[in-house]
Each structure stands twice: as structure tokens, then as C-alpha cells.
Amino acid sequence: MGRVYEATCGRGFAALYDRMLAGAEDAGLRDRRRDLVSQASGATLELGAGTGLNLELYPDAVTDLVLTEPSPHMARRLRERAASASGRRVEVVESPAERLPFPDDSFDTVVATLVLCTVADPERTLAEVDRVLRPGGRFLFLEHVRANDPRLARWQDRLHGPWRFLGAGCNCNRDTPGTLDASALTVEHLERGELPKSPPIVRPLVAGRAAARPSA
């Protein structure tokens, strides 16, 4: 359910990505995306924007929108979708989440949906999020995660290797809430749910909001 953020996502996977997610989107994932990005405002950065499934969901409160995507195949489709967007400036930047080419304190909001499962270094990614957010800025996230249920978590560990291969680098057993708690960000809200119409090992879902460090 993720994309490879080492820029190794293949042309075929990029072409099929929207189709693979269509069932989940129609069964409620798109509504979850909309609820999440409705909280965005000001200068907004989206990490690993893929083919741009969030693009038309952003509210008018978003003034400038920058979309990063390291896969050139995904980025090509993202640019095509962004070209038809209206009402705000949209920029597409090919960049991994661990090395964002932006100055400190550049954004009011950072968004990640189904991204942290595939980044090569989630700790460094969250450090970059904190760096580019303005003091008190918001990080909005929607991610599938390691299960709280021990039995399902064991299955996630057993099937991690095959799933990572089939899912183009997706890690089904990442403890993203734990990584967030250990980061410089402050989690303000987190709710658990399920990724609809998906295999059990990627079904546990979290959505929420974290704040960047306050100004000194």
C-alpha cells in the first residue's frame, strides 16, 4: 500500500497505483484523506504525493502547495494531474522525504498519507518534517501501521519480506506511532481505524496531527 521512496518505483507500478487503491478509496479511504487534508492551511508540503490522489482535496486555506515525489514515474503522473489544478500555485519536486531541498521553517503544514511505510529512514524523515515546519506548524498523517493485536503483528513480521517485494518497498509492520513519539514532533491527536478493502497485514491504520517545536 505504499510507494518506494528510494526512487525505485517502476513504471508499471506507477501506472497501476490508482487502480490498485480504487477499491479502498471508494470504501472510505478518500473520505479519510479529505478529513485529514481539510486541516491544512497556508504554505503546505505533501511528502511522497505519488500520483496526486490528495490534490483536489486541499481546502482554499492552502495558499501554496508543494508536492514531493522521488519516483520519476510517479512524478510524471503527478505533474500531469497538477497541471490541471486551479486556484493555487502547485509545485512538484522530485525529492526523497529524508533530504528535503527546502530551508528551515518553510511551511505551515506538512502532509503524509501512506508514505511513512516506505521511506528508507522514518526517523530522519520526521526530523526533516520538524525542520521545514514553522514553529507550531502542523504535520498531518494517515498511515497503515504495526498492529496492536499481537497475533496480527506476528503475521506482519512473518510476511514482511514478501509484502515488501509485492508492495514496492512497503513495510507492513512499522510502528509509526512509536516513531512519532520518539521524534521532536508533539502528537496532538491520533485515532486508530482500518484501511478498507485491504489485506489484514496492512489494515491497521492511524490518522492524526502533530505539532512542530515551538519557537524558542
* CA 53-177-97 angle, 5° bins: 50
Whether the CB-CB separation of 35 and 101 falls below 8 Å is answered with no
pLDDT at 3 over 60: no
Q: Determine what percent of the chain is predicted with pLDDT higher than 90.
A: 75
* CA–CA distance, 112 with 122 (Å, rounded to integer): 12
Out of 10-19, 23-32, 149-158, 182-191, which region has the weakest mean confidence (pLDDT)? 10-19
Binning pLDDT at 50, 70 and 90, where does residue 167 land? confident
Could you read off the pLDDT of 77-95 as tens digits, one per residue?
999 888 887 667 899 999 9
Could you read off the pLDDT of 49-62 as tens digits, one per residue?
999 999 999 999 99
Q: Determine what percent of the chain is predicted with pLDDT higher than 70.
A: 94
What's the gap between Cα 58 and its chain centre? 14
Q: Look at residue 200 and give its three-state secondary structure.
A: helix
Q: What is the pLDDT of residue 9?
A: 55
CB neighbours of residue 62 within 10 Å = 21
Stated pTM of the model: 0.91
| Section 97-120 average pLDDT | 96
Could you read off the pLDDT of 4-44 as tens digits, one per residue?
333 445 777 777 777 878 888 899 999 999 999 999 999 99
